[in-house]
Amino acid sequence: MTISNALASIAVESLSESLVWYEYLFGRKADARPMADVAEWKLPGGGWVHVATDADRAGASTVTLIVDDLADEIGRLEMFGIKPVAKAIGHFFSTAKLRDPDGNLIVLSQPQPGTY
């Protein structure tokens, strides 16, 4: 089997209540709305992030998004009131952890030079 791509899924209590937060996160409206309770964003590398109403799983999702400039992303998100709950600098990545309105963990991660 060859895996050629991925679709990351995030469960929220109510998409209509979470949609603006995710639009701020991605810096744009969803690239696709295949169903009323689903919004999807296409990533430059080809993958997708799928956010959907699923009250039973809401708040239990974790997604790591690779960014080019972590400081710029944090600054941009703070303009919308979205602040990291934790930050870390490691040998391979610098990270900032965010929580969406349902408590899902969104990790922004910037590779250290020469490691990605």
pLDDT digits (tens, 9 = 90+) for 76-110: 999 999 999 999 988 898 999 999 999 999 999 99
Domain boundaries, the chain: 7-111
The SS3 assignment for 86 reads strand
pLDDT at 91: 81
- The owner of tokens 């089997």 is 1
> What amino acid occupies position 61?
S
- Name, in order, each residue with C-beta under 8 angstroms of 63's C-beta and a sequence gap of 6 or more: 8, 10, 49, 104, 105, 106, 107
CATH architecture observed for domain 7-111: Roll (3.10)
Q: Which two structure tokens, joined as six digits, stand for 21?
A: 């937060």
Length of the chain (residues) = 116
Q: What are the beta bridge partners of residue 108?
A: 65, 96
Binned at pLDDT 50, 70 and 90, residue 69 comes out as: very high
